Amino acid sequence: MTTTVSRARALLATLFSAILVIVGAHAAPAAHAEDTAVKPAGQSAGQSADTDITVLSMNLWYGAQVAPDGPAYDAVAKTIEEVGADIVFFQETVTHDGEPIGAAKPVAEALGWNAFSPRDTEFYPGSASVISRFDIIDTQHFIDSGENNRWAKARLKVGDDTIAVYSGHLEYKSYSVYWPRGFAGMAQGDQWPENYKQWGTLEGPVTDTETLRAINLESGRPAAAQQLIDDAKKESEQGNFVIFGGDFNEASALDWTEETKDTFQRSGVVYQWDTTRTLLDAGYVDTYRTTHPDPAQAPGITWPVKQSYAPADQSAWMKGGDERDRIDYIFFQPNERITLNSASLVGPKETVKQGEAVEEATADTVFTPSVPWISDHRGTMATFTIKGADTPGSSGSSWFTTTHGVNAVIAALAAVLNRVLAFLQSSR
C-alpha cells in the first residue's frame, strides 16, 4: 500500500509540475526578435508607440502683410518652431484684396512642411488653410452659399493613424457680441433697422437674448458648425481622429456666464452663443476652456490684441468700446486613444481695450514668441497624446486567460488525472 501511495503522490506531483510548466510557458512565452526591441515609454509589447502632437491655430491678419518690410513669413515660421507645433490652422492667409500669393505655402516651405491652401483652387479669399509636418493624404474644402463660412479640411497620416483636421474661418458680419456693448455689427436681415446693418454706435446696448440669437443665426456660423459635424461623423465612423479650430468670429457658449456678465462691457448678458453650443452639444471638446475652466479668472481673450508693427487702435473696430472676447478655438472629438494634455494662448501679453493696449493679470496661459507678433488675434494651441494602437495578438490578456490557453491547460490536467485514476484502480 505504501508503494501505491508513493506512486500516487509521485503522479500528483507530476500533475502540479505539468500545471506549472504549461502555465509558465504560455503566460510568458519565449521572446521573438521583435519583442526584444526597446519600447518607448508607456508602450507595451504588441503596441505601437504613443504620439505627441501640438496643434496651433493662427489668424494671420491680411496674410501676415502688416509689417514694414513686406510679408512676415519668417516670423510666422519662427513662431511655429518656438511653440513646437506639428499642425497649424491658418485664417486670413491671403490679403483682402485677393493677392494670389498667400502665406500658407511660403511658411510651409520655410519649415519643410506640407500645405493645403484652397485659395489656389476655387474660392476667394482663401482664408482658411492647413499646414503640417505630417503627410497630407487628401484634402477638401467647404464653403456656404454666401461664400462667408469656410473650412479647409486635410487628412493627415500620423503613424498608422489618420487625423482629419479642419481649419475654419467663419463669417465676421452679424457680429452679435457687439449689440450688448452698444455697437452694431452689420446685421444681415431686412427686418432690422438701418443702423443695425452697419458698423456703428447704437443708442444703447441690446440685451434681449432672442434678438441676439436671431442676429447671430443670420451669420450662418452655427450652420457651418453643423456642416463640420456632419462631415466629421464620417471620419469618426472610419476610426479617424478629428481635430479642428479657427477664427469663429463668435464668443463661446462657456464664457458669457453669470460670473462674467458684468465684465468686458457685456451689459449683464448671460448667453450660450450658438456656434460653439452646437459643437458642444455634439460632444466636441473646447480645449482651452477644458484646461482653464473658469472664464472669470482665465477669460482667454484672443481678439483684439496688440500687433507689433501697428498702433493699438488699428486692431480695434469699435475704438470706444471693450470688444475683447475669446473667438478663436481648437476643438477635438473625444476618443479613448486621444488625451488632451494642455492648452494655451500664443501671442502678446497686451490686449486692446477702447483702442488702448492693456495688460491685465489673469490665470491665462500665454506664450509670447521672441519674434514680432503680426496679427490682431492671439493664436490658440493644444497638445495631445495619441495612445499607440494594439497590434494583432496584443489584446491585453495573458495567454492563460485566452480560450486557447484555458483549453490547453484543461486537456493537460485531464490527461494526468486519467493516469492517476487508472493507476489507483489497477492497484486495488
**For residue 79, what pLDDT is reported?**
98
Residue 185 φ/ψ, nearest 5 degrees = -125, 45
Give the span between the Cα atoms of 183 and 349, in whole angstroms.
26
Coil, strand or helix: which one is 275?
helix
Domains detected in the chain: 2-31+397-426 (no CATH), 51-386 (3.60.10.10)
Please state, in angstroms and as integers, the Cα–Cα distance from residue 264 to each residue in 206, 260, 296, 301, following that order. 15, 8, 11, 10
User: In the numeric block, which cell numbers belong to residue 371?
Assistant: 519674434
**For residue 380, what pLDDT is reported?**
98
Closest CA to 292 of 258, 260, 255: 255
Closest CA to 249 of 142, 334, 164, 150: 150
**For residue 174, what pLDDT is reported?**
96
**pLDDT averaged per 10 residues, the chain (length 428):** 45 43 36 31 62 97 84 95 98 69 89 86 67 97 82 96 97 96 95 95 96 97 96 97 98 98 98 98 98 98 95 89 97 97 98 96 98 96 94 41 38 46 46
Distance of CA 326 to the CA centre of its chain: 16
CA pseudo-torsion sign 223, 134, 233, 327: negative
**For residue 97, what pLDDT is reported?**
57
**Which string of b and e fits 379-400 if b means at least 16 CB within 10 Å?**
bbbbbbebbbbeeeeeeeeebb
The angle subtended at Cα 108 by Cα 136 and Cα 115, nearest 5°, is 30
Strand partners, 338: 335, 386
Q: Which strand ranges, in their side-by-side order, compose the sheet holding 285-286?
A: 135-143, 150-158, 161-169, 241-247, 328-332, 285-286
Strand partners, 342: 383
Give the span between the Cα atoms of 99 and 152, in whole angstroms.
19
Contact between residue 247 and residue 187 where contact means Cβ atoms under 8 Å apart: no
Contact between residue 1 and residue 409 where contact means Cβ atoms under 8 Å apart: no
Decide: pTM greater than 0.75. yes
Give the span between the Cα atoms of 95 and 91, in whole angstroms.
11
Closest CA to 299 of 352, 348, 365, 209: 365
Give the span between the Cα atoms of 143 and 151, in whole angstroms.
7
**For residue 127, what pLDDT is reported?**
80
Give me the torsion for CA of 327, 291, 261, 224, rounded to 10°: 30
User: In the numeric block, which cell numbers belong to residue 113?
Assistant: 512642411
